[in-house]
Amino acid sequence: MPSFQPQAHLVLGGPRSRAPASAWLVGAVAAAAPDLGHLLYVQGVAYGSAFGHRGASHSLAMAAAVGALLAFAWTACRGRAERRWWFGYFAGCMASHGLFDAMTDGGLGVAFFWPLSTARFFLSWRPNDVAPLGIRGFFTQSGWQVMQSELVWVWLPLSAVLGARRAQPISP
Ligand SMILES: [Zn+2]
């Protein structure tokens, strides 16, 4: 669980005019949501099982399902069109979580293709230190190393992309 990964939605936000602050907040919650599966782990579900940590909750299918629900609710409540665009946005936010987890150097990989397969995957490029599973772990030396790792490999690149997007002139 990279601790800062909800910020990945900043890159997925699309044109600024389409993503009001409330959408970014929902996107951040969607990006963090896969780790709610950790509650099952705490309740005794085995880490490596389909519903264990980085299992079904981190899959692309779950991101698509949650993205569809959020897009439906978003467009229904806000009277907005472009449901497909919002589906892509919310599903992308949630799917980004598994992508960043697959770039860490510890734990088990991500079950991207659940329910078709429970195989776990990592990317071949894994620059991020794996974050501790509990809050207390962040207040240790290794927790500080995780923060530094994510600062370099998550925050700085995302900030650069966001800064570049903001610097682009808005076409009339
Ligand atoms: Zn995770």
Q: What are 17-33's pLDDT values in tens digits? A: 556 788 888 998 999 89
- pLDDT tens by residue, 70-123: 999 999 988 767 899 899 999 999 999 999 899 998 889 999 999 999 999 999
What is the 58 CA–ligand 1 centroid distance (Å)?
Answer: 7
Average per-residue pLDDT in the chain? 82
What is the 141 CA–ligand 1 centroid distance (Å)?
Answer: 21
Beta-carbon neighbour count of residue 145 at 10 Å?
11
Name the packing angle between helices 83-101 and 21-32 (round to 10°).
Answer: 40
What is the 34 CA–ligand 1 centroid distance (Å)?
Answer: 6
Instruction: Give me the numbers of helices (H) and strands (E) for the chain, helices first please.
Output: 7, 0
Cα–Cα distance between 162 and 23 in angstroms, integer? 16
What is the 5 CA–ligand 1 centroid distance (Å)?
Answer: 9
What is the 105 CA–ligand 1 centroid distance (Å)?
Answer: 13
DSSP 46-101: -TTSTTSTTSGGGSHHHHHHHHHHHHHHHHHHHT---HHHHHHHHHHHHHHHHHHH
The per-residue pLDDT for 149 is 81
Q: Which residue is listed with tokens 């992309």?
A: 161
Q: What is the pTM of this model?
A: 0.77
The per-residue pLDDT for 79 is 77
What is the 98 CA–ligand 1 centroid distance (Å)?
Answer: 6
The per-residue pLDDT for 40 is 76
Amino acid at 163: G
The per-residue pLDDT for 148 is 83
The per-residue pLDDT for 171 is 55
∠ CA 129-40-123, nearest 5°, is 30
Q: Are 55 and 118 in contact (CB under 8 A)?
A: yes
